[in-house]
Structure formats: structure tokens, C-alpha cells
Structure 1
Amino acid sequence: LEKELDYTAVKFAHKKLNSIYIGGGTPTTLNPKQLDRLIRKIKCSFDLSDLVEFTVEAGRPDSITKEKLMVLRNHDISRISINPQTMKQETLDLIGRHHTVQQTIDSFYLARELGFDNINMDLIVGLPGESLSDVADTMEVIRKLAPDNLTVHSLAIKRAARLNIQRERYQDFEIVNTADHIALTSKVAEEMGLFPYYLYRQKNMAGNFENVGYAAPGKAGVYNVLIMEEKQSIVACGAGASTKRVWVQPNPDGTHRIERAENVKDVAQYITRIDEMIERKSRLFTKE
């Protein structure tokens, strides 16, 4: 990863870096020293004078500790994400999440105590066995916590997800996501002073709805907007990372040519084939 970061820093030294997002997984699975090393490497390698947002997806509450949050604070990370998915403990146990509702609440308040003033929380609507009443209960807990961002996902069952691999375990649980569920989350978000600023869709989504990001004024995630609008190139490093090049010159119809370079997902393969991953990026950005 450090080798790929070194290449990226040199290759794009002439570009202005306005947003950094460490996520796509759970960076806080790293221990405090590893997390500190990663962020120091980024800060030492890149010119951050034009940076407007630095997000770290803390993600799973069971991976969050005071020591890790202090590392993020000491590096002036401007935005973090703490993702409960739901505030119903029975559902968390059912879908194999290893955190508790109380861990989510404790992690959130700890982050607030340490001075984080832009916290996102992710929820999933349409989880097995959850009723409209369950979603309402979750939203009331979220209301009390008062995050600065809220991302409401409609359940999308991916091939490698536990819900898909162990589908027989969940066959007796109804998966429901209706317009009423979406309207409820939207209503509570608005009452909290959060307003929609981006949305996107995925394959196999329950109810055929969208994922919607809500934010308080001035707290919208810059990276989220940039990646959804597909008007700016994004260089990604690490196993499973997807780099996107957006050509500046528009097509005759006003759209822009977009191509991607994918890193392999398997960590061992990523390490072994790191030179190939770097070469993929190089080829992408040397194309006419």
C-alpha cells in the first residue's frame, strides 16, 4: 500500500487534492499504531493545502476505541462514520454483526466528547424480520444521538454477504422495504435538520429503492458528491480499490468518457501483484 501511495503521490503531484476518503471497509480494524502510520504516510506524501475533507470510515462500533479516535483527532480528521445498520439488537445478532446497540451509542458519544463535529451514521432498511415499527424505533435512537450525516441504505444482498451465503437461515424472516419505510426515514431526517444531498442505487435492492444521504447544512460529504456525479477523477489505493478517470474533454453529447482500473480484492494477491496494480493505473492515465 505504501508503495502504491508513493507512486500516486509522484504521478499526480501536479493535481490538487481536495478530498481523502479512507474506507470501503473498516480502517479501524487497524490498531492505533497502524492507523497512525497510514495517516502519517498520506500526510507526508501528498500536498494537502487544498484539502477540504478528510474522512475515515470508522464503521463497525466494535472496532472503535478511544485510542483509535485519538489518533484520528490528532491528525485533524474532519469526518468519520459510525455505522449501526439498525438499533435492534436481535437483528444485529441475526445478521452476524458483532457489535451491540450500546457499543454504537457509546462510540458515538465518545467521538463527540473528543471533539468530532461531523459524524455520519449508516442505516439499512429492509433487514430480515424488521417491521416499520422497528425502523421507527431505530430512527428515534438516531434522533437522540443527532448525527451530522445519515445515510439510509435499502438492503442489497451481495453474493458474498452472509444473508446470501446462509440464505436458508433467513428464509423464515420476511424482508420488507416499502415506500412507508423510506418516507419514515426521510421525515425523521428532516425533523432532525438533515436534508438529502445524494442518492444512488445498487443491484438486488429490497423494494427497488435508493440509498439516500442526508446532511446538516455545511456537513455534506464532499467525496460522496464527487463520486456520484462522476465529473472528477478519483485515484484509489489498496486491495479492492477502484480508480476512475474522467476525461475533461466532453463527448459530442455532453457526457464525459469514463474508464476504471481495478485492484485485486485478495490482500495476498494485491501484495504479490502490486507492480501490476500500479501499472494498471499508469496505463489508464497515459491513454489519449
Structure 2
Amino acid sequence: MTDNNNSKMPIIMIGHSFKYETEATLKLFFNTARFSFTSDIAEASGSDYVLTEAAEDGTVTVRVCLEGNQEEKTVKLPPDAEKKDFEYTICRLLFGLLVNRTGITPPWGLLTGIRPVKKVIDLIRQGKSEEDIYSQLGERYLAAPKKLKLAYDTAVNQLPILDRIDSSAVSLYVSIPFCPTRCSYCSFVSHSMDSAIKLMPEYISALCRELEIVGRIVKDTDTKIDTIYFGGGTPTSVSAEELRTIMEAVERNFDLDKVREYSVEAGRPDTITEEKLRVIKALGAGRISVNPQTLNDEVLKVIGRKHSGEDAVKAFELARKVGFDNINTDLIAGLPTESADSFRNTLDRMIELDPESITVHTLTIKRSASLFEKGSANSSNPAAEMVDYSIPTLMSHGYLPYYMYRQKNTVDNLENVGYAKKGFESYYNIFIMDETQTILGAGCAASTKLVYPDGKISRIHNYKFPYEYIRSFDKLMEKKEEVTECLKKIRSVQPR
């Protein structure tokens, strides 16, 4: 099959409704392809299609036809088989057939969720040994041993922090969804400064109002703020005075005395100035992130960045000069036109700078990113070689994996991993992945995640675009009633 988005591959589903699971398995092999789902057996024709069938007598059949060559497998399930057994069997048969037909073996096997570490943590808490965990997850999900080892190491480093989590406290996320320009790989909701500049005063005013409203709810429910995270976009896209206004609103409306971590995603080096860094430090943030993604100037041009690799180094050194002793840097494996040697050079140089943490993302090509339009032309690159180099290199220099997540449409079905020196793990990053602490979002495109005492999770999504956020602000604030109710319930069962 040609892996592009100009045509749709027919997927015939008979006797079941496992569309999400089937598509997730297909995406492991065709990460930028599109599919059409149908129950019409007549669609099982042509050179490319997939047929999945679950019969009433327990027979499961999967057929894969690629470029006119087809292969089929059938399994008979026992009479007491449950719905989840049919789902798993369809996906496992499909996975095996696609490995045979494409020659691709996804390293995470059938593990398609974004939080593989949670499965490992659950097994550790059940008393399973490391060997038992590898055996159980390897057998069921067909994941490569080196990936299971990475997930296990991440879980081991994460557990001591999770054991100290305060579930009665909450974290605060503040969204500043603006960037100087939009990078070609970016799928986040962000807006260029050129288009947003006229909305900036109104946006900042609305954001400060929301921080006041959320702060009042937190105070009225006697809730403690545990961590604060400024994200985007690029928070340092705004001016030093605008950043001061927002951070002062946080300081004014929340008790920061017991905050364990306060992070600002300074992000792009071309937005970082000494004045902004001094504002960030003066107003309480102790952790920042400087994110070059690569130090290769030619690759930076290709992805739409307006800064050089040397600019990134200077921004990092400037942050040290201002006094930051907890700096993260983000890199991306698999950027278009970047070679494995170039990635190695970037990683080695970043290690020389000696940040407290380094996060290695793998390129993800989502539909909202301009790279998606180029299809497989951008998905064939040495990302796996880059990631394989990063793991032992970082660990040998004292950077341990402490959080991990996976995404759809990631090149080579790889992962995103945060590495940190001991004691510099980001609480917020762990909490957002583990989903055991409520996170209150403020600002355009921010998401509030309410974690109830019984484990129920509810999400409230703010409007994606600044003009919507400003125009419909009062309507949006009506949703805060659910926040109040959730925090009251948390407080009632977990008094401090």
C-alpha cells in the first residue's frame, strides 16, 4: 500500500464494532494513511483492503490484501469468550498479518496506548518481578524487550514520586498559545504573533480574569496548589511586561508557599531574553525549558525555525547566568532531513551544556501539521537509530528516564521520554501522565482534568482560538461550577 493520504484503504468489519482498536493497529504500519470503514463485503476487492470478521460461533477471521497479495488467518474462540477477547484476537491476528505483509515489526507491538508505563506500575504494585513483567507484557503485546526495559526503568524511577503524591492538592496549567512562527511538525494549538498581536491585550486580560476565578475556587475549597506549569505555544513569545502581568496574576490569586514545582516553558531560543528570564525567576518559577529541538542550522530552517543552533546554546547559557539551576532541554528525533550523525552531535552537545533534564521526543506527524501533507516522504528517516543512541548515552551520563508517553502517527511507532538527573524529575510531567492528580487549566486551549476520589476523570476544554476564548469567556466560566464540586468532594474525603 502507498502510505499517503490521497486515497482511503477499505476496512471491512463484519460482526463487530472495534473500529478504534482496528484503526490503532493499522496505524502502527501506515501512520499517515487514511481508511474507510464499512460492513459491505463487496468492498473486499481491489489491490488493498483489510477484512475482519467475528462470527456468532466464535470464529474470528482476518484477511489482509496489499498490492494484490492476500493472506488470511482464522481462530476459533471458546463459547465463554468475552467481547474483549474478540477485540484482542482481531488486533493480534491483524498485527501478525501486517508484520508478514509489510516487513515492519513495531517495537511496542500491540501496545497502542499513550501510557505504557502505567501497565508496568500496576504490575509492580501487584508484586510482580521484573522478569514476570517482561514475560507477561511481552507475551500479550509482542513488545520488544528493549522497550519493555525502558518502560520498566521509567516506572522504577517514577514510583517514589508517585508514592509521595498529594491527591488532595491540584496542579495549575497556564496556557500562552502563541509562537513567533509555526514549526512544520507542530500539531499544538498555537498562533503566530503576527496574527495574534492585536488580540494580545484582550487575551491577557481574559486570562488574568480566569486565573482570579480559579484562584477564588481554590481558596474557597481550601485546596493546595502542588505544581504550576506555563505552556503553549511558547510562553516567552509575549513581552517581558506581559509575562510579568500574567505571573503576577498567578502570585496574587494562589498561595505559592507550598508549591513544589513552578515551571515555565521558555521554549524557543529566539524568544528568550535576559529581561524575560529575570521576570520568570523573580516571580517564583524555578524550572524552565529551553527547546532547540536540534542544533543543526539547516534542519532548523527546514522546520521553520528562525534561530540558529548557536542561539539555543546562548539562550541556555543566559539562563544559567540569570541563576536558573533547573533547566530542561527538548530534542526531537526524526526531524526532516536530519541524519543520525547530526542528532548524535546535538545530543552530545546538549549533554556538554549539562542541563538538569533532557526530553527526547520522536517526530509525530499529525493531520494539523504541515508535514502531514507530505505523507511517507517524511516518515522514512533514522528516528529509531537516534532513539537507540539516546537511551544508553543519556543513562551513562546520569540522566534517568522518569516519564514517557506515546502518540498516534509517531515515526516508527516510537516514544517520547523525559530523562533527568536524580532529584530533578518534573512532578507535573509525571502527574499529567499518571492521572492521579487534578490539573486546573487556564487560558486558550487549556484543558482541566478533574480526578474525583472514586477515580472518575472528567475533562473541561477551553476554547481553542483566542478570539473564541475572549468572545465566549463568560459562557466558558460557567463550566467552573464542576471544578468547585470536584474540589469539594476531594476535600471531603481527604481532609488535611
TM-score by length of 1: 0.92
Distance (Å, rounded) in 2 between the aligned partners of 1:148 and 1:162: 32
Distance (Å, rounded) in 1 between the aligned partners of 2:427 and 2:478: 28
Do structure 1's residue 218 and structure 2's residue 423 form an aligned pair? yes
Distance (Å, rounded) in 1 between the aligned partners of 2:386 and 2:312: 22
Partner residue in 2 for 1:280: 479
Percent of matched pairs sharing the same residue = 40
1:170-207 superposed Cα distances (whole Å, 9 cap, x missing partner): 948843321x3222111221132110000001111011
1:99-124 superposed Cα distances (whole Å, 9 cap, x missing partner): 21011000000101111000000011
Partner residue in 1 for 2:438: 233
Do structure 1's residue 175 and structure 2's residue 175 form an aligned pair? no
1:271 positional shift = 0.5
For 2:473, give the aligned amino acid. Answer: I
2:400 to 171, 175, 195: 195
1:159 positional shift = 2.4
1:125 positional shift = 0.5
1:276 positional shift = 1.8
Is the contact made by 2:371 and 2:378 (CA closer than 8 Å) also made in structure 1?
Answer: no
Partner residue in 2 for 1:135: 343
In structure 1, stretches of 5+ residues that fail to align are: 250-255
For 1:286, give the aligned amino acid. Answer: E
For 2:309, give the aligned amino acid. Answer: V
Change (3 A) 1:57 1:172: closer
Distance (Å, rounded) in 2 between the aligned partners of 1:198 and 1:172: 26
**SS of equivalent to 1:135:** helix
**SS of equivalent to 1:97:** coil
Do structure 1's residue 156 and structure 2's residue 355 form an aligned pair? no
In structure 2, stretches of 5+ residues that fail to align are: 1-206, 490-496
Distance (Å, rounded) in 2 between the aligned partners of 1:173 and 1:186: 21
TM-score by length of 2: 0.54
Higher relative contact order (CA 8 A, sep 6+): 2
1:58-77 superposed Cα distances (whole Å, 9 cap, x missing partner): 00000001111111122231
Is the contact made by 1:82 and 1:108 (CA closer than 8 Å) also made in structure 2?
Answer: yes
1:95 positional shift = 1.0
Distance (Å, rounded) in 2 between the aligned partners of 1:148 and 1:273: 40
Alignment of 1:16-165 (within 5 A): 16-165=224-373
Partner residue in 2 for 1:252: none
2:461 to 262, 266, 270: 262
Is the contact made by 2:327 and 2:357 (CA closer than 8 Å) also made in structure 1?
Answer: yes
Is the contact made by 2:236 and 2:272 (CA closer than 8 Å) also made in structure 1?
Answer: yes
Distance (Å, rounded) in 2 between the aligned partners of 1:76 and 1:115: 12
**SS of equivalent to 1:123:** strand
**SS of equivalent to 1:56:** strand
Distance (Å, rounded) in 2 between the aligned partners of 1:191 and 1:247: 40
For 2:432, give the aligned amino acid. Answer: I
1:129 positional shift = 2.0
1:284 positional shift = 5.1
Is the contact made by 1:5 and 1:42 (CA closer than 8 Å) also made in structure 2?
Answer: yes
Residue correspondences, number? 279
Do structure 1's residue 7 and structure 2's residue 213 form an aligned pair? yes
1:237 positional shift = 0.2
Distance (Å, rounded) in 1 between the aligned partners of 2:253 and 2:483: 22
Q: Which deviates more from structure 2 when the two are superposed, residues 4-13 or residues 275-284? A: 275-284
Larger radius of gyration: 2
Do structure 1's residue 185 and structure 2's residue 390 form an aligned pair? yes
